[in-house]
Structure 1
C-alpha cells in the first residue's frame, strides 16, 4: 500500500487509555507494517492496533479520538499539533475502506462458507472435535514450519533476532539443560526489541526479550520464564491456540492442505506480542522447577520485586535451602548477556 510506505517513519506523542477505569498515559505512536504501534516513553510496545480496524470517535474534531473498531473502551487521543499523524491515520483508514469488499460480493462466499460449515458439523459434530483431530495428526515438522512463519511476521514488528555467535552457542546448551517433559528441547531465540518477556510459538519455538538476559545477574530468572512457558504449552497447545483464534475453517484448512493462509498467520502474529500470559498455579510451577532443578525464588521476585504477590511460590521453592547445580558458568552467562551485541 503506497500510503503505508509514505508514513512508516512517522511518530507522534499521544494519550492512551487502555480501559475506561484507568488513567490516560503519555505514549509514542508509530505506524508499522500492518499496525499502529503504541509504545511507552522507553520504546517498549504496549499495544498494536490493526490499521484495518481503527475507528474515529469524533470525526472532524480535535483532539482526534481513536479506538479499535468495535471496542470504544480503549482510546488514543492525538492533539491538534499532531496533525501529520492524524492526516496519516485518516489517509490509511480511507485506503482501507476503499479496499473493503461490498456486501453483494460476499453473498456467494457466505453461502459457500455456510454450506461448508454445515458439512463439517455433520462429519465431526463439534468444531472442537475437528480441532482436536487436527492437532493429533499435524506432525512436528509442520508445527515448526508454522512457528517459523509466525516468527517471520513478528519480525516486521520486532526486528531480527540477536545472533552473536558465542551467545547462540550458550543458548543452545541452555536449551538442552531445560528440555520439555518429552525430553525434546526448545528453540530459544532472543529479540532485541518488541518481545516483553517470552512468547511461545508452535514447534517448541520460544521467543525471549533481551531484558530477561541483560537485566539480571543470574540465569535463574530466564530459566523460570522458560519453565513457565513449558507449563503453559502443556496446558494449552500453542498450535491449538492458533486454531482457536482462526476458527473452524483454520482447522479444516490445516487438516486438508497442511497449510494456513498467510493472512491468518499475519493477523494472529499481531495479537501475540500483547496477549496476556495464561495463568499458572503455584503447585504446577513448583513441580516444573523441581523437575528441572531450578530455583523458583529468583523468578518469583522478577514477577514481583516485593515478593508479596508471589510469596506462595517463594515459600514453595524446592531448592530454598539446598541450591542445585548452577545452570551455567559465569563466563557463559556473560557471553549470553552479550548475544545482542551490547
Structure 2
C-alpha cells in the first residue's frame, strides 16, 4: 500500500548521489507509506527518505531535484518523463504542508486576539473606569464650580435666576426645609428652559417658574425638589454629565479639573432640550416624601391631574391622615410666588 491510495505501487528511475563529491548513480525510487525508498539497480536499499522531510531544490522546474531537509548535498533527480512520480511526491508534500502548524499564523492570531482584548477593554471597560475614578476624586468645591459653569452655559435660554429680594429669602427658607443629603442644596428659580427641574453638579437645582406660580400650595414644588434630590442621590449629576460628554471629557476632568467648554455646552443643550428625567420607583419616592415630611398627593396630581398614572403615590401618601410640618408659611409662599416679578 502506498502513501497515495490511488497507486498500488509507484516506482520511477532516477539519479542519486550521497554527497556533492560523489558521482550520480542510477537508482529506482519507490514510494512507501511514509518514505521514499531509494535502491540501486541490484535492488539493494541505499537509503530511506522520510516524505515529510523531503524538500525540492527547484520548485516548478523539470527535471525535479529533491534533497532531505537540512542536507542539500544528497540529491535525487527525477526526469521530466517521470511526471507521475513527481506529481505524487508534490501532492504528498502539499498535503503535509497544510497539516503543519503555522507559527507565523499562530503569532498573528495571538496578536489579533490581544488587539481585540485591548480594544474591548478600551471600549467597554476604560470609559466606565475613568468615569468612576473621576467621580471618586473630584472634590465638592470642583463639582460646585462645574455646576456654576454649566448654569452659565444654560443662561442663554433660562435667563438669569429670578431675584426678587423677598422671593430669594423665601427660596432660601425652602432650601433649608428640604436639605440635601450631599452638595450645596442651592435652589434657583429660572424663567424657562427646563421642563420642571434640572440638577447640576454640586447639587444646585434649577426650578422652572411655573412650579411656584401655577400652584396654590408649596407642596407641589417641594415634591419636585424631593424627587430631584432623590435622583441626585441615585445618579450623580456629575456622572450624568460625564456619561453624556464621554471619555475625553472624563480624562480632561482628571488631568485639568475641567471637562471642557464643549462638553459643558453640549450637556447644557441636552438639559435644555427636555432631557428625560431618570425614573424613580414609587417606593423610593414615598420614602423620600416621608424623610423630608412632604405630602405625596400634590406632587402626584401635578404630574397627572387625573391621578390615574400616579394613583400609587396618592394612595400611599405617608401624610394622607396627618399634617406634616409646613413647607413654608403663607407669607413666604406668596413671596416665593413673586420671585420672578411681573
Q: Normalized against structure 1, the TM-score is what?
A: 0.63
Aligned to 1:115: none
Aligned to 1:171: 171
* Native 8 Å contact 2:194 2:208 kept in 1: yes
Counterparts of 1:114-125 in structure 2, within 5 Å, are none
* Native 8 Å contact 2:223 2:296 kept in 1: yes
- Separation in 2, partners of 1:264, 1:325: 41
Aligned to 2:130: 130
Q: After TM superposition, where is structure 1 displaced by more than 6 Å over at least 4 residues in a row?
A: none
* Native 8 Å contact 2:197 2:207 kept in 1: yes
Aligned to 2:207: 208
- Separation in 2, partners of 1:196, 1:163: 20
* Native 8 Å contact 1:167 1:338 kept in 2: yes
Aligned to 1:139: 139
Return 5+ residue gaps in structure 1 as ranges. 1-117
1:285 aligns with 2:285: yes
1:235 aligns with 2:234: yes
* Native 8 Å contact 2:223 2:289 kept in 1: yes
* Native 8 Å contact 1:175 1:185 kept in 2: no
1:197 aligns with 2:188: no
Deviation at 1:263, TM superposition (A): 1.5
* Native 8 Å contact 2:184 2:204 kept in 1: no
Aligned to 2:115: none
* Native 8 Å contact 2:184 2:202 kept in 1: no
| SS of the residue 1:308 aligns to | coil
Deviation at 1:119, TM superposition (A): 10
Aligned to 1:337: 337
Aligned to 1:316: 316
Deviation at 1:234, TM superposition (A): 1.3
- Separation in 2, partners of 1:221, 1:190: 14
- Separation in 2, partners of 1:279, 1:119: 33
Deviation at 1:198, TM superposition (A): 0.5
* Native 8 Å contact 1:176 1:185 kept in 2: no
- Separation in 2, partners of 1:121, 1:166: 54
- Separation in 2, partners of 1:318, 1:125: 42
* Native 8 Å contact 2:180 2:229 kept in 1: yes
| SS of the residue 1:126 aligns to | helix
String of CA shifts for 1:282-330, please: whole Å, max 9, x gaps: 1000000000111000000000000100000111100000011211110
Aligned to 2:248: 249
* Native 8 Å contact 1:178 1:185 kept in 2: no
String of CA shifts for 1:186-211, please: whole Å, max 9, x gaps: 11000112222101110101000000
| SS of the residue 2:305 aligns to | coil
Deviation at 1:277, TM superposition (A): 0.8
* Native 8 Å contact 1:186 1:205 kept in 2: yes
Aligned to 2:40: none
Aligned to 1:301: 301
String of CA shifts for 1:173-228, please: whole Å, max 9, x gaps: 1101101234x651100011222210111010100000000001110000000000
- Separation in 2, partners of 1:166, 1:195: 23
Deviation at 1:125, TM superposition (A): 5.2
* Native 8 Å contact 1:297 1:314 kept in 2: yes
Matched length: 224
| SS of the residue 2:229 aligns to | helix
Q: Which has the larger radius of gyration?
A: 2
Superposed CA RMSD in Å reads 2.0
- Separation in 2, partners of 1:121, 1:163: 49
